[in-house]
A and B are shown apart, each in its own frame.
Chain A
Amino acid sequence: MAQLQLDQLMRAAANGDRPAFRAIYDATSAKLFGVAVRILKRRDLAEDVMQDAYLKIWDAAPKYRPEAGSPISWMVAITRNRAIDVLRKRTEVAIEDEKDGGERADDAPDPFEMTAQSRELKALLGCMEELSPDQRKCLLMAYYYGYTHEEISERMTTPVGTVKSWIRRGLIQVKECLGND
């Protein structure tokens, strides 16, 4: 859906227009659900998270400002935050053992492999190209799966302290690079 159209629907939803909100849902739910499934690896949990996210989006729509990013970025951030909150609360239940989809090496999201990249994604990836491959890998694992420093350290068999500093320095470098556009 065109960005402009989504902007208009968001304004209508902010004014209590439910059909507009339904249209937003139809246009964005597969993306938000995809984001939640990727992090939670279980459809049932991901669906709860997605539903909470849409209720929050409806409630917060009057406060949404287009200057602060596109509607879809804003909605993805709300969904990711909710999904990661749920993921952290469930550490004791060992989500890994019950997962029914998600993390397999061959379907891991790889933005660098995408053929159609937005201008914003191109700029971000251009900046990430300047990081070391390990740094890039850490950042992408954290973004797509919501892993903690410890979890990444296990998967990369690298000390937690090293992972921490890779990520910190990587983020600072990305920010500086994007700011210099």
Chain B
Amino acid sequence: MNYFANASRACWKNIECSILLTLIVGGCWHLLRQTRQARQTPAKPLAQEA
């Protein structure tokens, strides 16, 4: 049984597509931000590490 039989099946697919696009754009943005932060973090001086 399609739970979305009363609504439009196409409408359900549009919602799924929107979720997927939101997640991939958000997921990539999140990772790009992380990589940028990692690049900007200055390497610790050896003396400080010791």
Q: Do A and B bind each other?
A: no
